[in-house]
Amino acid sequence: MMFRFKFYCFLLFFSYLISSTDNLFGIISSSRNVGIGSIHISSDNISSIFDGPIFKNKIDKTIFFSTGKYGDLFNVYHFSSNIYNDDISNLSIGIVRREISDIFNTQLLVQEGVYPSLENLNYDNIYSYSDSETGMLISYNKFLNSNFIINLNFKPIFHQIDNINAVGSSFDLRYLFFLNDLKLMLAVDNILSFKKWDTGTFEKNNIDGFISIEKKINDLSTIFTELNIVDGFKIGYELKIQNNIFIRIGKNDANSSFGLGFNLSNIKLDYAYIKNENNFLHDSHRLGFNFNLQKEL
């Protein structure tokens, strides 16, 4: 019994390492935003609803999907779509999922109470399992005027490690201001954040927050900065080399990144490569697709 308890403690600690390094809802959804240094930047479409408010009240009928591979550690997927528009508000939903596979449970390798030796090892009792975490985002934007947007996110979550489960939720409150060629976002994330495990363990996560600025230098180039409570300072740059081709670079305390963007007739395609300085996460790749269902092929 004590060995099983220690094993579950290890599972929860491993989960904490993953989430504290890159919280499920803290993983940037837009591959464009990943390319500029994993900065929270808003856009006029649903590709960035996990990252910031949508600054267009009437959104085209679009769906967004992205996938990312973080070395051999885990994969992450984002999906989002708009479900309601009017002149002063919009409502969108999103799904994020992280999967860690090929984890091995060795708690039955040695009989409990028996000193481990080669003769006592039973390799048939080793089995593999996965750590999967799924979160839902319900994102509401209210347009108070042409220069001010309030964004409220509700984020329920389900987490499973081997045969133990947890449910939880949290809220985000974000403000977006337009000041000439500058966009300023203020955010308080993970409000009332908790996760309740069926083992009785109760997690309560700290409030996160950030200030991000998007400054348009000219018609071709834009610079981005963010000051984040958890991740520190971030900076990024985007250059439009043609009407539908973009190059991006970014840097933060944890990694450097490079990205490409292509705006086609009915598809926006974004790719980002992240060079991680944290050996635990390794290098990673992100690929995102934004499909406009109202345009003809």
Whether the pLDDT of residue 100 is over 90: the answer is no
The total number of residues written for the chain in this structure: 297
Average pLDDT over residues 11-15: 41
The mean pLDDT value of the chain amounts to: 83
Provide φ and ψ at 16, rounded to 5°: -65, -40
Of 203-207, 224-228, 270-274, least confident by mean pLDDT is 203-207
CA 102 to chain centroid? 22
Sign of the Cα pseudo-torsion (138, 142, 146, 147, in order): negative
Number of neighbours of residue 144 by Cβ within 10 angstroms: 10
Provide φ and ψ at 193, rounded to 5°: -80, 130
Confidence of residue 251 (pLDDT cuts 50, 70, 90): very high
Average pLDDT over residues 224-250: 94
Confidence of residue 56 (pLDDT cuts 50, 70, 90): confident
Give the pLDDT score at 112: 61
Number of neighbours of residue 190 by Cβ within 10 angstroms: 21
Tokens at residue 25, please? 């809802």
User: What stretch of H or E contains 75?
Assistant: strand 74-85
Percentage with pLDDT > 70 across the chain = 80
Give the pLDDT score at 9: 45
| Cβ proximity of 24 and 56 under 8 Å | no
Geometric angle at alpha carbon 103, from 100 and 106, rounded to 5°: 160
Whether the pLDDT of residue 144 is over 70: the answer is yes
Percentage with pLDDT > 90 across the chain = 52
CATH pick for 2-292 out of 2.40.160.60, 2.60.130.10, 3.40.50.1100, 2.40.128.640: 2.40.160.60
Give the pLDDT score at 45: 85
Whether the pLDDT of residue 7 is over 60: the answer is no
Whether the pLDDT of residue 259 is over 70: the answer is yes
Sign of the Cα pseudo-torsion (240, 241, 244, 247, in order): negative
CA 115 to chain centroid? 44
Give the pLDDT score at 292: 82
pTM of the full predicted structure? 0.81
Whether the pLDDT of residue 10 is over 50: the answer is no
Ranked by mean pLDDT, the top range of 23-37, 90-104, 119-133, 269-283 is 23-37
Residue 17, CA distances (Å) to 14, 74, 233, 239 in order: 5, 13, 21, 35
Ranked by mean pLDDT, the top range of 80-84, 129-133, 274-278 is 80-84
